[in-house]
């Protein structure tokens, strides 16, 4: 199955990014800490070019701490600036602001030399849908400056948000790329909610999710659903979960659709535990960061 989601407003978002980047001093690239590489739009790095930028790994409270540490080391080895953050909790907001000011300092000195002594730092926040951009903006601004939603594609246009003393942020719509060539990444994007639930096959995505959970987090899976063991195949595990949770229809058959939705909801909410799907080893060779 091919997962491919590129609403018309995302094409418009790309044009907005290209038009506004020239007035931006430093870029914030927001990724999902559970799937940092899968949630990295390769188009963004090409658009940014050599402009100063910082990667913010959001939703860190939902990610496996050990795997998260590996990703931080990976990005730093690549020479990238990185901040780990749980935007809902608001931690690490001050270090992020300090880093933005530091990265923008040379450009501000340039403008100061030209007589613009009080020019604000202009930053842009970019990322794919549903990685928490609006929530992060509201934490930075300390008010509800951006609309938040648990569905992708909610932000449709650009908006300037005043963050603090001489710091302005330009929020842009989330942008996926036109063709998701790596379908494993596409499945992970679907599982985390970056792709609308209406455009992918639930069975395919949940089967892949359960396969990876069984590979990397069998103990968490067994504990959450009170399973004695993991099935030889993902569908066997899904069937056992459905029976444990009473997701049954007439005749004692498992209601698969109900079970799929249950597993997806509990994964997205972190109820199963801190779980990471992207592994550094899978992307480290030739990865485009």
Is 135 assigned to a binding site? yes
* Band of residue 1 on the pLDDT scale cut at 50, 70, 90: low
Is 165 assigned to a binding site? no
Residue 185 placed within a domain = no
Does residue 127 share a domain with residue 18? yes
Does residue 55 share a domain with residue 103? yes
Distance CA 43, CA 180 (A): 12
DSSP letter assigned to residue 147: -
Does residue 155 share a domain with residue 23? yes
pLDDT tens per residue, range 186-224: 899 999 998 888 888 999 999 999 999 999 999 999 999
Does residue 135 share a domain with residue 239? no
Is 174 assigned to a binding site? yes
Does residue 233 share a domain with residue 157? no
With a CB cutoff of 8 Å and minimum separation 6, the contacts of 256 are 203, 238, 242
Q: Concatenate the DSSP letters of all residues of 86-121 into one string.
A: -TTTTTTHHHHHHHHHHHHHHHHHHHHHTT-TTPPE
pLDDT tens per residue, range 55-76: 999 999 999 999 999 999 999 9
- Domain with residue 129: its CATH number is 3.40.50.300
Mean pLDDT of all residues belonging to the chain: 85
Residue 190 placed within a domain = no
User: What tokens does 38 get?
Assistant: 């899968």
- The total number of structural domains that make up the chain: 2
Q: What is the pTM of this model?
A: 0.86
Residue percentage of the chain with pLDDT more than 70: 84
Residue 13 placed within a domain = yes
Distance CA 178, CA 75 (A): 25
Does residue 167 share a domain with residue 216? no
Is 59 assigned to a binding site? yes
Is 133 assigned to a binding site? yes
pLDDT(149) > 50: no
Give the domain range for residue 128. 8-178
Is 4 assigned to a binding site? no
Does residue 149 share a domain with residue 51? yes
Does residue 51 share a domain with residue 157? yes
């Amino acid at each position: 199955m091919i997962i491919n989601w590129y609403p018309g407003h995302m094409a418009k978002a790309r044009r907005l990014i290209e038009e506004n980047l020239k007035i931006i001093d430093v870029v914030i690239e927001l990724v999902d800490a559970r799937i940092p590489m899968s949630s990295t739009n390769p188009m963004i790095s090409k658009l940014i070019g050599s402009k100063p930028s910082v990667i913010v790994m959001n939703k860190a409270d939902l990610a496996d701490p050990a795997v998260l540490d590996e990703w931080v080391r990976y990005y730093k080895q690549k020479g990238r600036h990185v901040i780990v953050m749980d935007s809902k909790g608001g931690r690490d907001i001050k270090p992020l602001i300090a880093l933005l000011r530091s990265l923008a300092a040379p450009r501000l000195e340039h403008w100061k030399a030209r007589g613009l002594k009080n020019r604000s730092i202009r930053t842009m926040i970019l990322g794919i849908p549903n990685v928490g951009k609006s929530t992060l903006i509201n934490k930075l601004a300390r008010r509800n400056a951006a609309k938040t939603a648990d569905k992708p594609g909610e932000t449709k246009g650009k908006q300037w948000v005043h963050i603090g003393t001489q710091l302005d942020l330009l929020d842009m719509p989330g942008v996926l790329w036109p063709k998701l060539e790596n379908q494993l990444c596409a499945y992970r994007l679907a599982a985390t909610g970056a792709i609308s639930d209406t455009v992918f096959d639930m069975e395919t995505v949940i089967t892949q999710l359960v396969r990876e959970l069984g590979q990397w987090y069998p103990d968490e899976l067994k504990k959450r659903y009170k399973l004695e063991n993991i099935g030889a195949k993902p569908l066997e595990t899904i069937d056992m979960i459905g029976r444990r949770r009473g997701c049954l229809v007439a005749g004692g058959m498992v209601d698969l659709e109900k079970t799929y939705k249950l597993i997806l909801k509990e994964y997205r909410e972190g109820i199963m535990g801190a779980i990471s799907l992207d592994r550094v080893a899978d992307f480290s060779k030739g990865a485009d960061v």
